[in-house]
Amino acid sequence: MLNRKQIEQEVRKGKQLEVHLPMSLNHISSDYYAYSGMSFAMHYYNVYEMLVSGECSKGAKNHILKVNDIVLSTVLAEFDAIKREKGIKKLHELRTSILSIMQGLTSYADCFSLYEYMLNRIEPNYKNDLEDIDVEAEVKELVSVIFANEDKLVINENIRGMLSQLPVRMTKNRFYDMLKECLSIYEGSEESTVEDFIYMLRSAAGIYKPEHKEEDFPQLMEAVKRFENADYQNLSESEYKELETVLSDATSLIQVETESYYALEEAVNALYSVLLNEVYALEEAVTTGNLLKGIVKEIAMLLQKKQFTAIPEDLVDEFSVVEGKIEQYLDRVIEDEALIDLIKNDHKDLAQALMLKQQLECLVLSQSLVSNSLFIELDKQRNGKIADKSFLEKRWSELVDEFSNALSEGNKLMNRARIAATLREMPVLFSNSTEVRDYMRNSLASCRDVAERVASVSLLKQLLD
């Protein structure tokens, strides 16, 4: 009888697939179950600890209790196919809800980054010893720092940092031309890749508006309105300090909420993968995946009773039993990815004929759930279409319209913040250090606001340090 490695080799060679394909899929499902089972227990413990310590937000707490209901009806109950299907459906709905909330939080974070940009450039106005800079001397020093490292990736990162901090002194048309030039780089890529890039630009510029943004976080929306109603041309020092406090409070709230939902999503993704693979996993993998079931049960009981007390030390000590094992199964899961892709791309029809379609779909979903992209959209359809010139021209025109509307409504400082944030996300378009130096010199020399010029150079130095 062939061992696992030999079975995988036969699948890769396309030999006796009727026999080897089902066996190979069961091995892969076993890897995902074992890894996800251990991973879920660890992430659920982390979520619970945040709840006990008071570091978990109220909204996330409500989601945790909903997840716990699913744990009680599936993981900690006798296997029931109907309950499993219901559990998967509820988890999917919860995950969609968390994704929506995180999009809102990301949007708020981007929004407050713009306000921080504005406040930073106003701050020097309230200092008695404000002195202008020597543009030529500063440019020489900054160029030297940007190109000090020979690694091209580091240099490009430094240049993007420069673009995000130095005064924005370019016409809107020049900015739109840069957008067009950046999009042209994606000709020949998949349309979905272009859409991901455009989303990143829109988000950074604060022009992406997710649904339910206001009702999910009324405190953050109230803070936004405070900034929207401020008169930045005539801002007194006391008003400036009030806005600083508003920004600090909003940023702290975003951090608490983000950390809560991030930890929760880790647990949800792991549990989702557990439920997808439990019916296909082999006995040894099931045993391994359930090594920390005692901890899961203890947490579930405490959550059910809403008794948020510390987990007994003897149970916490059980985490030691999975040391080395979780890393071992993670390595297996990573190795399995290529085989899943091979089966999905080359043997999908045979898998369906062998009644393995559902198992393969579960593995494809699991592949996304345990990936580094924690908040990947499982329902997102990627049509595989290639972006040609006409598609890029259309999307550029639509993007320009969005930016035009946003820039026509904002004050000069906000508009500069939007453009600077967008430049930060663009591919580097400079060919050499001379072009970088010329841009920096023009940016600083064209800026007539001493406070903005001084603040920009200071912030860039901090960033490059």
pLDDT score of 169: 87
Residue 105 has pLDDT above 90, yes or no: yes
Average pLDDT rounded to a whole number, residues 375-396:
87
Average pLDDT rounded to a whole number, residues 454-460:
93
Q: Kindly report, residue by residue over 444-456, the tens digit of the pLDDT.
A: 999 988 999 999 9
Q: Can you give the pTM of this predicted structure?
A: 0.89
pLDDT score of 285: 95
Q: How confident is the model at residue 109 (pLDDT cuts 50, 70, 90)?
A: very high
DSSP state of 322: G
What Å distances lie between residue 329 and 6, 65, 162, 322, 367, CA to CA?
19, 29, 42, 10, 14
2-6, 213-217, 295-299: which is most confident: 295-299
pLDDT above 90: percentage of residues in the chain: 85
Average pLDDT rounded to a whole number, residues 160-165:
93
Largest Cα separation within the chain, whole Å, is 84
109, 114, 115, 117: CA torsion to nearest 10: 120
pLDDT score of 384: 74
Task: Answer yes or no: are the C-beta atoms of 403 and 69 closer than 8 Å.
Answer: no
Task: Answer yes or no: are the C-beta atoms of 240 and 122 closer than 8 Å.
Answer: yes
The pair of structure tokens assigned to 76 is 């900690």
The pair of structure tokens assigned to 146 is 């940007």
Q: Kindly report, residue by residue over 57-83, the tens digit of the pLDDT.
A: 888 999 999 999 999 999 999 999 999
The pair of structure tokens assigned to 281 is 């996993």
pLDDT above 70: percentage of residues in the chain: 99
pLDDT score of 146: 95
Q: How confident is the model at residue 213 (pLDDT cuts 50, 70, 90)?
A: low
pLDDT score of 97: 93
340, 343, 348, 353: CA torsion to nearest 10: -110
The residue with tokens 């109230």 is 222
Residue 27 has pLDDT above 90, yes or no: yes
Q: Kindly report, residue by residue over 287-336, the tens digit of the pLDDT.
A: 999 999 999 999 999 999 988 898 889 889 999 999 999 999 999 999 99
pLDDT score of 429: 86
The pair of structure tokens assigned to 255 is 């951090």
Q: How confident is the model at residue 46 (pLDDT cuts 50, 70, 90)?
A: very high
pLDDT score of 58: 85
Q: How confident is the model at residue 88 (pLDDT cuts 50, 70, 90)?
A: very high
Long-range CB pairs of 387-393 (<8 Å, 24+ gap) are 387/186, 387/187, 387/188, 387/189, 387/190, 387/191, 387/193, 387/194, 388/187, 389/187, 391/191, 391/194, 392/183, 392/184, 392/186, 392/187, 392/194
Domain ranges of the chain: 4-102+258-369
Q: How confident is the model at residue 383 (pLDDT cuts 50, 70, 90)?
A: low
Residue 39 has pLDDT above 70, yes or no: yes
Mean model confidence pLDDT for the chain: 93
pLDDT score of 239: 96
H or E segment at 68? helix 58-73
pLDDT score of 111: 94
Number of alpha carbons in the 13 Å side-chain half-sphere of residue 306: 4
Cα 264 from chain centre:
14
Residue 465 has pLDDT above 90, yes or no: no
Residue 229 — φ and ψ, nearest 5°? Answer: -90, 0
Choice among 27-41, 84-98, 310-324 with the minimum mean pLDDT = 310-324
Q: How confident is the model at residue 382 (pLDDT cuts 50, 70, 90)?
A: low
pLDDT score of 209: 82
Residue 215 has pLDDT above 80, yes or no: no
